[in-house]
Amino acid sequence: MNKKIGTKILGTGSYFPEKILTNADLEKMIETSDEWIRTRTGIKERRVSEKDEPTSELAYRASIEALKSANISLEQIDLILVATITPDMLFPSTACFLHERLGLANPVPAFDLSAACSGFIYGISMAKAFIESGLYKTILLVGAEELTKFTDWTDRNTCVLFGDGAGAMILSASSEDNDILSVFLGADGSYSGLLDLAACGTACYKKASINERKIKMQGREVFKIAVPKMALAAEKALNFSEKELKDIKLFIPHQANMRIIEAVAKKLGISMDRVFVNIHKTGNISSATTITALDEAVKTGKLQKGDLAELIAFGGGFTWGAAVIKM
Ligand code: COA
């Protein structure tokens, strides 16, 4: 009988554009204050991509870092998955642009997946299923976003929240290890109107105003639903993994708002010293938050080899999800 295939995490990487937009910069653009933004969101600054630096470029740079950390050659990759809601174009996919930018000689499949801020966790679930079914052996999974290009810079309710960045993970088939212990995903489309980016989608192509093509959000309503759904996802994934809260070294929630993160920790009954936070310097970068936070936790030694972590996310759709992983 064939030995069961597990999914091993070989490496992670991340990349942020160089340009920093601080709360002080925003004070010059809209009626706001550093104090309001910090106390309501926890954000102090965010990164902003250049006009000629598309999402696939951030994805490329994060992928190169992940390949280095995994210590594998490009040619070992046999599938590219990119989670994004801010693609270079409607098509070709950002994954195809990344394929080209990497200079991959192999015509391996490449496609995007759209699950907003839960995108990377949806991606982990897909990568695990592809690997453990035996279909693909080594997957490059990326979460990459340029939300600042779809931000309404006249709307102080939303423009203080978002940033740009990308993170990548290499996952591979293993007969010895299984680093993705469990994944739980959920969605409820009835909430779609509370947080959206109509952009140039087919439902909205008649919209004349450019500002109608930007991210729109009813922040307070999103907040109320995000907290219970993230806590639920965390509990479900933990149950599926047959682990307990005490077994998790670090909880890595979606970095949308510091108050959401604290409320989820309180609901789960965990202290904040077990929760990874880097929102102060990134803002909300949607599908890239959990992977860039995980990468930073690994690189700063907060997560060591063999430690368990739980990624937890919530986003537009609404979508939510959590994954228990071993580094
Ligand atoms: N600077 C100063 N004042 C601001 C402001 C800003 N950037 N943005 C909003 N305000 C004002 C509002 O106009 C309002 O003023 P009013 O009372 O005179 O009408 C006041 O602050 C309170 O607004 P409100 O929307 O009730 O604030 P809030 O405490 O709910 O915080 C968010 C707003 C957006 C920070 C908060 O709702 C939030 O974080 N929601 C979740 C958003 C999120 O993370 N979404 C992504 C999930 S994936």
Q: Is residue 312 part of a domain?
A: yes
The CATH number linked to 117 is 3.40.47.10
Residues 16 and 148 grouped into a single domain: yes
Degrees, nearest 5: CA angle 4-123-231: 100
Q: Is residue 222 part of a domain?
A: yes
| Domain assignment of residue 213, given as a range | 180-326
Q: Is residue 1 part of a domain?
A: no
Q: How far apart are CA 316 and CA 188, in angstroms?
A: 9
Residue that has been written with the tokens 């940033």 in this structure: 163
What pLDDT score was predicted for residue 14? 98
Residues 160 and 145 grouped into a single domain: yes
DSSP 26: H
Residues 107 and 129 grouped into a single domain: yes
Residues 227 and 100 grouped into a single domain: no
Residues 152 and 222 grouped into a single domain: no
What pLDDT score was predicted for residue 212? 66
Domain final position from 143, 159, 174: 174
Domain final position from 174, 193, 225: 174
Using most ligand atoms within 8 A of CB, pick from 41, 44, 157 the residue to mutate for ligand 1. 157
Sites in the chain below the pLDDT cut of 50? 1
Q: Is residue 158 part of a domain?
A: yes
Q: What's the total number of domains in the chain?
A: 2
Cα(244) to centroid(ligand 1), Å = 35
For residue range 207-265, list pLDDT tens digits in order: 656 666 799 999 999 999 999 999 999 999 999 999 999 999 999 999 999 999 999 99
Q: How far apart are CA 261 and CA 40, in angstroms?
A: 12
Bridge partners of 138, per DSSP, are 172
Cα(217) to centroid(ligand 1), Å = 10
Q: Is residue 152 part of a domain?
A: yes
Residues 188 and 301 grouped into a single domain: yes
Please tell me if the CB atom of residue 114 comes closer than 6 angstroms to any atom of ligand 1. no
Domain final position from 130, 155, 174: 174
How many CB atoms lie under 10 A from the CB of residue 231?
22
Residues 146 and 116 grouped into a single domain: yes
Residues 187 and 119 grouped into a single domain: no
Residues 248 and 317 grouped into a single domain: yes
What pLDDT score was predicted for residue 199? 82
Residues 261 and 201 grouped into a single domain: yes
Please tell me if the CB atom of residue 258 comes closer than 6 angstroms to any atom of ligand 1. no
Comparing CA positions, the residue from 140, 8, 168 lying closest to residue 78 is 140
pTM of the complete model: 0.96
Residues 89 and 119 grouped into a single domain: yes
